[in-house]
Every structure is written in structure tokens, then in C-alpha cells.
Amino acid sequence: MSKTIALSGTQNGVISVTKLENPYGEGSGTVASIGISLSGDANNPEWKVHIPLENLDEVIKALQELK
């Protein structure tokens, strides 16, 4: 699963959200990868964070509270 979202306040920037299995090698946990690309290249973001799926509900809740 993968989704690309236009990054507000930029001309070409995007936010990419992808599910990665075994991102650190065989046996590593699945993560949600969130990337930011100011150039619009979702496959090569300048910044990214990996969130273990086990933490995803709590992170989503924290983000919703910010809103």
C-alpha cells in the first residue's frame, strides 16, 4: 500500500506514506514509512521516518490531538 499527498505550502512537494515489510532485513518488523520530498520525488524523499506498526495507533491518536 502506498499513498502520495500534495505537501501544502510548496509547489511540487509531496508526502509519501508506504508500508514496508522487513525494512532492516529479514525478521525486522513491518513499519509505516512517511517521507517528505520538496522536489516531488516520492521515491527519494529528503526526510523520512519509520514507525513500527505496533506504535501506529498511538501516533495517529497523537497527530489527531494536534489538529
Q: Looking at residue 23, what is its pLDDT?
A: 93
The span from the CA of 57 to the CA of 53, in Å, is: 8
Are the C-beta atoms of residues 21 and 11 closer than 8 Å to each other?
no
Per residue of the chain (67 residues), give pLDDT as tens.
Answer: 799 999 999 999 999 999 999 999 999 999 999 999 999 999 999 999 999 999 999 999 999 999 9
**How far is 58 from 19, CA to CA, in rounded Å?**
17
Q: What is the pLDDT of residue 2?
A: 92
Q: Terminal CA-to-CA distance of the chain, rounded, Å?
A: 25
Report if pTM > 0.75: yes
Beta-sheet strands, E only, within the chain? 2-6, 14-20, 31-37, 47-52
